[in-house]
Amino acid sequence: MPKKRLGTVARLSELDKSLRNRVLRVRSRLFFILHSAIGAGVAYLIAVEVVRHTEPFFAPMAAVIILGLSGGDRIKRATELTLGCSLGVGLGDLLVMQIGTGYWQIFVVVGLALLVASFVSPAPLVSNQMAIGGILIATIFPPGNGGGVDRMVDAFIGGAVGILVIALLPTSPLNAGRHQVSNVLGIASSVLDDVADALRAHDTAKLNQALDALRKSQASVDKLTTAASSGKEMTTISPFLWGDRGRIRSLFRILGPVDNVVRNSRVLARRAVVLTEDGDSVSEEQIKIIEEIADISLHLSDLYERHKEISEAIEIPELVRRLRQLGSHVGTEVAEGNVLSAQVILAQSRSIIVDLLQICGMSRESAVAVLVPTSDSPAYPPEVWHEEDEV
């Protein structure tokens, strides 16, 4: 089903609480769940059947921790985590066997673990994991019959299995990135809908409510780059995903425009607050322009959520046509005679049209050329939509 039109507050609430998005969240985590189950089972199997350890607790635990890493540099951080965990467990076992457990022993174990970690690697992750591994040994898992080396080997086995699962059973490098693009464009659409409604009703309170909610949406925007970086790394390390490198480059290309859509929508909403607080207004044509931009943003959000390349090939040209047509109606005459705030709202509307065209595949130069020029000497030759282009 296509996405519903929602206000900003309802949209942000839906991201976390609606049944639809809960199902989508579970679906997006199925590969992680499968990877964790396989990694934990294989790590335990190797530790028990191959290495002949009787209680290899650290093997499945390390595998699940490694597979839980997300974002860019995942393999680098996984290697650091494996090194830190293995050394921390080994050092903790060897120390606790000699000095026992207690408050001062914790002081010694953590201090020495951090000293050794600082010598071994500059990475903070190695230091943290060595300290945590030492604490686990000194408090919950004091040395038993197995000795220090066995559990250090178990931790190493778990980490190595986790890295192999990442490389040999890769998740789709595009799903997480496309999901975040969909979320961000959906938020922008809701903000613009709220702005249009509030401008028509002169409702400052609704605009302030939307802005307050929008400030809490930065986490969704921040996840964009993280998801794309993770996908880029996966297409580098896994031979099964080398064919997706072009799609990942395309995803990276639109990150800036997607981020700009939200930023420009935020600026537009703030200026709308100023305008309504001053008791001024904009023309009905400006409001309809904002509503059309909101609807196009919602359609793009829906497209990125569906992950259907055939749908994109059919629908994006239509969205580009609508944006080109919109670009021909955003000249200075739309806000002529109105206050500065109305002119700023028009300028931000023009910027969002350019952002959306870039998301649809245009270069910035071509996207800017779609707009009615506001200068006597525009930097890019105008390619403005004319009514005869419909024929």
More confident residue, 259 or 7: 259
Reported as a pLDDT band with limits 50, 70 and 90, residue 391 is very low
pLDDT attached to residue 145: 46
Contacts of 75 (CB under 8 A, 6+ apart): 163, 166, 167, 233, 237
Reported as a pLDDT band with limits 50, 70 and 90, residue 378 is confident
For the cut 90, the answer to whether the pLDDT of residue 86 exceeds it is: no
To 10 degrees, what angle do helices 175-201 and 284-306 make?
Answer: 160
Locate tokens 């921790």: which residue? Answer: 65
As a whole number of angstroms, the longest Cα–Cα distance in the chain is 88
Residues of the chain with CATH 1.20.58.220: 175-390
What is the chain's mean pLDDT, rounded? 81
What would the mean pLDDT of 79-91 be, rounded to a whole number? 81
- % of the chain surpassing 90 pLDDT: 25
pLDDT attached to residue 46: 93
Which fold would CATH assign to domain 175-390? Methane Monooxygenase Hydroxylase; Chain G, domain 1 (1.20.58)
DSSP alpha helices (H): ranges in the chain?
8-17, 19-28, 30-45, 58-67, 74-99, 103-120, 124-139, 147-168, 175-201, 204-215, 218-237, 245-277, 284-306, 309-327, 340-359, 364-369
Residue of 370, 303, 348 whose CA lies nearest to 196: 348
pLDDT attached to residue 121: 80
- C-alpha to C-alpha distance for 192 and 194, rounded to whole angstroms: 5
Mind listing the pLDDT tens digit for each residue in 307-337?
Answer: 665 567 788 899 999 999 999 999 888 888 7
Contacts of 188 (CB under 8 A, 6+ apart): 261, 262, 265, 294, 297, 352
Q: Which of 210-214, 224-228, 363-367 has the highest mean pLDDT?
A: 363-367
Question: What is the DSSP-derived secondary structure letter of residue 373?
Answer: P
- C-alpha to C-alpha distance for 23 and 19, rounded to whole angstroms: 6
Assess contact for 320 and 353: CB atoms under 8 A. no
Among the listed ranges 70-74, 196-200, 276-280, which one has the minimum average pLDDT value? 70-74
Is the pTM higher than 0.85? no
